Every structure is written in structure tokens, then in C-alpha cells.
A and B are shown apart, each in its own frame.
Chain A
Amino acid sequence: MDLAYFLQQLINGVTLGSVYGLIAIGYTMVYGIIGMINFAHGDIFMVGAFVALISFILFALTSIALPVVLLLTLLIAMVFTACYGWTVEKLAYKPLRKSFRLAPLISALGMSIVLQNYVQAAQGARIKTLQPVIQGGFTFMEETGFTVSLSYLQVFIVLVTIFLMAIFTLLITRTALGRAQRACEQDRTMTALMGINVDRTISITFIIGSSLASVAGMMFVMYYGVIDFYIGFLAGIKAFTAAVLGGIGSIPGAMLGGLLIGLIEVFWSGYISIEYKDIAAFTVLVVVLIFFPTGFLGKPDIEKV
């Protein structure tokens, strides 16, 4: 019974952690390259969830096979949400790149308010419910009295996350684009002198981050089945916590952090108290920042005079 319960929490935690990890990558990449917290990232995730929801509703009217629907929705969500990320960067962050430290943060705060209320105005404030897209799953350990279930949906979420993370890790470590990004992180002026289009590299970073967030949004709407315009706020803070936990600026760190935050949240609500599950994530954030300010896989940030 206890082991079964534990296994069930573990499965749920890994699933939730995948979603947080995907959002956290966007935070960590943007922080790495331009050194700002993209406050609107959680809302980009929310927009992605809405695009996926709309796409699922439209495909439900047709008779296309399920795997094709999933693939098409994934692509649609990524493309449309990437447009949001790109536009937000162009409108609200690019003009402020040489401004003082707090300006982009305030601008991002404003953008986050705009996105939330725009979706509220366009789609209505009520919660949206989606019929389950993928049903069924495996069950095991029935003889212990507590059935552990692993749904096909959870398998799908974890597999897609692993696949996307593998692709983007390759992209960052092996391609010219990834090299350009890492160069921009170190020194933007020198990178520009080496003939790399810095503006374009930053834009692509936002596009990648937003499309991964949109995948997280799609997973979220499939997993929970209910969304509203406000989901981006909490998910955004938790994903940021994940990015900090793993060491901000490090992509493997973001995945690790996401997984940990997912597990902490699920185990906290499974064993301690469900009302205070959001406090768990925040407590972790505070504790990590006090004792490991650079996270698990981050580089130490030395302040020089």
C-alpha cells in the first residue's frame, strides 16, 4: 500500500515535472542570453495552452486519426505561440536592451498584465474544460489494495518532453546556432564583432523558449483538462523556481529543476497538505537562493568592482 502510494506520487510528480521543466528552459535560455527574467513567459505558456485547446476543439470536428491530431496540434501551438514570444521581445524588450537594470523587468511585468487581460477579453474569464484527448492506461500492483495507474497520457507527456529536450540540447551544443547563442551569453559586443547577428540570435532564443512553453501548455491542457487566463502566473513562478534550482542559465539544470519542483509539489500534497502545496514551491525557492544561490548546475556569479 505504502509503496504503491509512493509509486503513484512518483509517476504524477515526474509528469508534472516535465511540464515545469519545459517552461523553465525558456526562462533559463532568456536569462542566459540577455540576463533578464522574462516575466511574461508564464503568460506565453498560457497562450500556448489556449492555442492547443482551440486546435483540439477544431480537430474534434474532423475525423483525423489521433496521432496526426496530436502532431498537428503540437506544431500549430508551437508556431502560433512562437509568434507571441517573438513579438513580445520585439515590442517590449528590444528597445530596452541598453536601458538600466530594472527597465526590462517592469516592461515584462506590463507585458504579462497585457497578455493575461487580452486573453481574458478575447476568450472570456470562465474556465475552459477540454474532453480527455488520450484515454486509458496501464494499471499495476492491484493486489496491494491501492492500484497504481500510469495513463497513456502520462507516458506521452514524458516521452515528448524527453524527445524535445534531446533535440534542443543537440541544437544548443552541436549547431552553429547554439554556438552563436553561447557566444552571445558570454559577450554580446565581441560576438557582434565576429559577424554574428546578435538581434537575430536573441529573437531565435525567444522563439525556441516560447515554442517549448507552448508544448508545456498543450500538455497542461491535456493533463488537467481545465484552463483559464490566469494559469500562467503560478506555473510561471514555479517554472522560474525550477530554473533557479537547477542553476539559471543551464539547460540541463532547468530540466533537473523542473523535475524536482514537480516531485516536491506532488509529494508535499500527497503526504503533508494539499492546501499549502504552492507554499512548498516558494519555500524551496527561498531556501535554495539562500544556501545555493547558483543552483545545482549553475556557474558562480562573482561580483567585481
Chain B
Amino acid sequence: MEKNFLQSSIKDSLFTGLIALALFGPIIGLRTVAQNEILVVQPKWLLVIFIVAICAVGRFLINLYTFNRDQKAGHQSSIGKSIGNFLDTKGTQIAISAIIFSIIFPFLPFTDRYLMDIGIMMLTYIMLGWGLNIVIGLAGLLDLGYVAFYAVGAYSYALFAIHFGWSFWICLPIAGIFAAMFGVLLGFPVLRLRGDYLAIVTLAFGEMIRILLLNWYELTKGPDGLTGIPRPSFFGLPFKSFPEEGEQTFHTFFGLEYSPMQRIIFLYYLILVLALITNLFTIKIRRLPIGRAWEALREDEIACKSLGVNPRNTKLTAFAIGAMFGGFAGSFFATRQAFISPESFTFIESAIIVAIVVLGGMGSQTGVVLSTIFLIGLIEVFRDFESYRMIAFGGAMVLIMIFRPRGILATRKPTITLEKKKG
């Protein structure tokens, strides 16, 4: 038995090595480089041998480990479950302390410009995740083109602000309405589609918007992007170091020294408030009839129809409201960057937002926060390794799906339950 096992596991690891050689041999081992405009091949065999050896030995060790381990059938890691239970019992306290932490975050002693930028980025993704959670988590419609609404919001804010000089607070609702209209526009043709088909059509829709932005040069300046987007002001008080004659700015009005951090802190609070509004809205609407209809539709469309829920209106409102929050986040993005181009709205952005929602546990608001911190943190940690960080990101998506297919927070309490009759 023992010898037989050893033999077969050696065979197995040799096979793994062979496959690894076939996988990495040509692509890693033979790097193509242009020399005098002609491609030549640069061999890198040492690296390949190293990787193949790691694969083979790793496989062997895994075999040994699984053989020696006691077979505990059905024993699964319960980390997610215990986190879920913990959040269930202490949910309100944790939420309050997380909000307090994010409020005092800009004034903590270790907070610098870099951390503030990451904080703003994470909050933007949390907001997008919460917005998309309405579509995916509540209504169960897998939308792979969410970035289109983000782009619509950003471009409509930028265009209105540049051409008409309207302020951020006027443009914000307009951008939301525009994005919601695009949501309905996308929603109509895909009403009858289910699951995978819906995913592909929404993806195609996202790409269509991007191609349109890229080619409609008169309106969007195409690949050059829009520059000089006005910065937001603090209730009419701009953030400027040198105010014009007779102009009140933020620091002169409050009698402060000018510092560029003031604007960043303002942006931070702006996105924090926007994100919290999104969250509050979702929590409230889940208890309203429309929110319950979304969740019912996600569970069973046919049952919903037979109970008189109108699937068309229900789906369209989900698309529209989800898109609206995407549009809000888009306007924030435009005003923060002061420059937008179609480059910022590629499919990978949609993939990141979908990953945040699904990996967090669909429908779970806390899950979105946890997975944003995890995924955006992962991307930041690997910041200096441009393409390796996306490999790590994609790998994390696969691994989480394998080990926790329902997401990090899989235990989601139903919004409404039938109470047991007493007696």
C-alpha cells in the first residue's frame, strides 16, 4: 500500500512536471523580442526549469499531505461562517465603529497623502460595489457592463460642467438621471435574457459605450479625453491657493493656512457621504415592496410572475437605480481626476466591480466592504509589479470561487421570514 502510493504519487508529480513544461516552456521559456524590427527568440530555460520543478515538487508534497491527513468528510473551513456569525451578533457596533473610523481617518497621525488617495479609491469602489449590489445581489441580474454607467456619469458631469459651467451639485443629479436612462436603455432589450446571455450582452453594451466615447470625437475628444473638468467647491468656496481679487476661498473664509490636503479631505468626505447614502438607500429599499420584489425575482422568476409581480418593471427599476449610483460615482470620479478618457472605463473595471460584489457574498453590504479592502489592497500591495498584480487579482477570484463559492460572507439572513405559529 505504502509503496504503491509512493510510486503513483511520483508518477503523478512527473506528469504534473510534464504539463507544466508544456504550459510554461514556449510562453515563458521562449520570449520574443524585437531586434532591428525582426522578432527573435530569447531562451530563458533556467526560469522554466525552476518553475517546472516547483510544480512537480509541490504536487508531490500535496499528494503526501492529502494521504497523511485524516479523512474528515464534509469538514469545511468555517472562517467565513464565524465571521458571518460574529457580524450578525455584533453587526451594529461594528458598522458604527467602522463609520467612526472612516470619519476620523483623515485626521489620524499616520494618514498621509498616499493613504488618503487609497482611502478615496476604496470608497469609490465600495460605492460602485453597493450600487452594483442592487443589480446583482438583490435582483440577481449579472451585469458585466456596469462601467458603462460609471462612464456615462463621468462624461455627463464633465460635459455639463465644462460647457455650461454648472456646479458639481447641479450636475450630480443630472449625471445620475442620465446614467439611469442608460440603465433603462440597456434594460429593455435584455429583459427576456437569463444568466449567461445577460452577462454577455451587458458586457457588449459596456464595450459599445466605450467605443462610442472613443470615436465620437466632436463630443468626447476621443482618446485624448476631456481635460480641465472643474473641481468641486465647498458650498461655493473653491479650494485655491491664490484667490482672485475679492474672491472668498475655503481657507480665507475659515481663516486657515492653504494646504492641498484640504481639497483631498473634502473629496474624501464627499465620497464617504455618497457611499453611505447608497448603503442607506439599499438597506431601506430592501424593506419596501420593490426591494422584496427584486429579491423574489432573483429566487424564482416564474413564481414571481404567477404572484402578480411585473418582471419587466421590477428589472428595469433595478437596472435604473443601480445605474444611477454608478452615475453618481462617475461624476465624483470626473471631479476628482479633473481628466477623463475612455481608458478609465475598460472592461477590467467592470470585472473588478463584479468581483467585489460576488466575492463579498452577493447581496451582503458588509461583504462588499470586506472584499474591496481585500482586492484593492491586493492590487495596491503588488503596485510595483504591473502585470503580476493582475495575475494575483485573477488568481484570487478563481481561488475564492473554489473555496468559498458563495463569497466571503456566505451567510446572509433573509430580509423577511415567515414566523412560526405558536401553539
Contact = CB atoms under 8 A, between A and B. Distances in A.
A109 B39 contact: no
Interface string B215-247: 100000000000000000000000000000000
Nearest to A103: B405
A83 B203 CA distance: 28
A95 interface: yes
Interface string A203-242: 0000000000000000000000000000001000100110
Contact of B193 (A53, A57, A289): A289
Interface in A89-137: 91-92, 95-96, 99-107, 109-114, 116-126, 128-131
B39 A114 contact: no
A120 B192 contact: no
Contact of B19 (A31, A83, A233): A83
Contact of B39 (A120, A122, A129): A129
A54 B402 contact: no
Given A92-B401, A102-B362, A110-B398, 10 more contacts: A36-B196, A80-B26, A100-B406, A114-B394, A117-B391, A122-B27, A128-B39, A275-B215, A279-B208, A305-B302
Interface centre among A91, A104, A118 (most CB of B within 10 A): A118
Contacts of A37: 196, 199-200
Which 7 A-B pairs have CB atoms at the shortest separation, nearest pair first?
A110-B397, A113-B394, A114-B394, A282-B204, A117-B390, A110-B398, A107-B401
A204 B396 CA distance: 27
Contact of A117 (B197, B351, B388, B396): B388
B27 A286 contact: no
B193 to A, nearest CB: 6
A305 B205 CA distance: 30
**Chain B, interface size: which category?**
35 or more
A293 B355 CA distance: 27
A286 B189 contact: yes
Contacts of A183: none
A251 interface: no
Contacts of B205: 282, 286
A303 B193 CA distance: 12
Contact of B41 (A58, A124, A240, A290): A58
A73 to B, nearest CB: 12
Interface centre among A55, A117, A123, A128 (most CB of B within 10 A): A117
Interface in B260-290: none
B50 to A, nearest CB: 14
Interface stretch (B28-36, B58-66, B111-119, B122-130): B28-36
B348 interface: yes
Contacts of A51: 26-27
Contact of B351 (A47, A100, A113, A279): A113
A101 B195 contact: yes
A305 B351 CA distance: 32
B200 A84 contact: no
Contact of A121 (B19, B207, B387, B395): B387
A237 B207 contact: yes
A269 B25 CA distance: 39
A87 interface: yes
Main secondary structure of the interface of B (DSSP, over half): helix
**Chain A, interface size: which category?**
35 or more
A123 B196 contact: no
A261 interface: no
Nearest to A35: B196
Nearest to B28: A122
Contact of B390 (A47, A113, A244): A113
B401 A110 contact: yes
Contacts of A285: 200-201, 204
Nearest to A47: B27
A131 B32 contact: no
13 contacts: A50-B27, A51-B26, A54-B32, A57-B32, A91-B398, A95-B402, A102-B195, A107-B401, A113-B390, A116-B390, A129-B37, A290-B192, A305-B302
Contact of A113 (B204, B211, B348): B348
B212 interface: yes
Contact of B31 (A124, A237, A290): A124
B49 to A, nearest CB: 15
Given A126-B34, A279-B208, A279-B211, A110 B40 contact: no
A117 B397 contact: no
A54 B26 contact: yes
B204 to A, nearest CB: 4
A83 B208 contact: no
B146 interface: no
B408 interface: no
B315 to A, nearest CB: 14
A111 B34 contact: no
B52 to A, nearest CB: 13
A80 B25 CA distance: 9
Contacts of A31: 196
B23 interface: yes
Contacts of B354: 106, 109
Given A57-B39, A101-B195, A110-B395, A123 B215 contact: no
Nearest to A130: B39
A286 B201 contact: yes
B142 interface: yes
B108 interface: no
Given A113-B351, A279-B208, A282-B208, A106 B391 contact: no
A123 B193 contact: no
A276 interface: yes
B347 interface: yes
B22 A80 contact: yes
Given A50-B27, A279-B211, A303-B302, A237 B204 contact: yes
A79 interface: yes
A277 to B, nearest CB: 9
A199 interface: no
B405 A119 contact: no
A142 interface: no
Contacts of B294: none
Nearest to B397: A110
Contact of A278 (B38, B211, B347, B397): B211
Contacts of B405: 96, 99-100, 103
A57 B387 contact: no
Interface in A43-99: 47, 50-51, 53-55, 57-58, 79-80, 83-84, 86-87, 91-92, 95-96, 99
Interface in B377-411: 387-388, 390-391, 393-398, 401-402, 405-406
